[in-house]
Amino acid sequence: MSLLSIEGVTQRFGGLTAVDSVSCAIAPGTISAIIGPNGAGKTTLFNLISGFQKPVAGRIVFDGHDITGMAPHRIAARGLVRTFQLVQLFPDLTAAQNVEAGCHLRGSGGLWAALARTASARRELADAAATARELLAFVGLQARADLPATALTYGQQRLLEVARALAAAPRLLLLDEPAAGLNALETDHLARTLDAIVARGVTVLLIEHDMSLVMRVASRIVVLDFGRRIAEGTPEEVQRDPAVLEAYLGGVDLAAGGGSAHA
Asked if 40 is part of the footprint of ligand ATP (rule: CB under 6 A), the reply reads yes
| Choice between 28 and 52, CB closer to Mg ion | 52
Min dist CB 208 to Mg ion, Å, is 10
Asked if 88 is part of the footprint of ligand ATP (rule: CB under 6 A), the reply reads no
**Do 255 and 238 meet the contact criterion of CB atoms below 8 Å apart?**
no
Asked if 18 is part of the footprint of ligand ATP (rule: CB under 6 A), the reply reads yes
What's the distance, Cα to Cα, between the start and end of the chain in Å? Answer: 37
Asked if 44 is part of the footprint of ligand ATP (rule: CB under 6 A), the reply reads yes
H/E run at residue 135: helix 128-138
Asked if 43 is part of the footprint of Mg ion (rule: CB under 5 A), the reply reads yes
CA gap 47, 41 in Å, rounded: 10
Among positions 8, 27, 29, 38, the unique one binding ligand ATP when judged by CB under 6 A: 38
User: If we measure between CA atoms, which residue out of 132, 102, 98 comes closest to residue 115?
Assistant: 132
Amino acid, res. 30? T
Asked if 157 is part of the footprint of ligand ATP (rule: CB under 6 A), the reply reads no
Count the residues of the shown chain that bind Mg ion, applying the rule CB under 5 A. Answer: 3
Number of H helices, E strands in the chain: 11, 10
| Choice between 85 and 142, CB closer to ligand ATP | 85
Asked if 175 is part of the footprint of ligand ATP (rule: CB under 6 A), the reply reads no
How far from 222 is each of 6, 93, 203, 230, CA to CA, in Å? 12, 36, 16, 8
Asked if 83 is part of the footprint of Mg ion (rule: CB under 5 A), the reply reads no
Min dist CB 66 to ligand ATP, Å, is 23
CA gap 50, 237 in Å, rounded: 28
CA gap 102, 85 in Å, rounded: 17
Min dist CB 168 to Mg ion, Å, is 21
| Choice between 42 and 158, CB closer to Mg ion | 42
Binding positions for ligand ATP, rule: CB under 6 A? 13, 16, 18, 36, 38-44, 85
Binding positions for Mg ion, rule: CB under 5 A? 42-43, 85
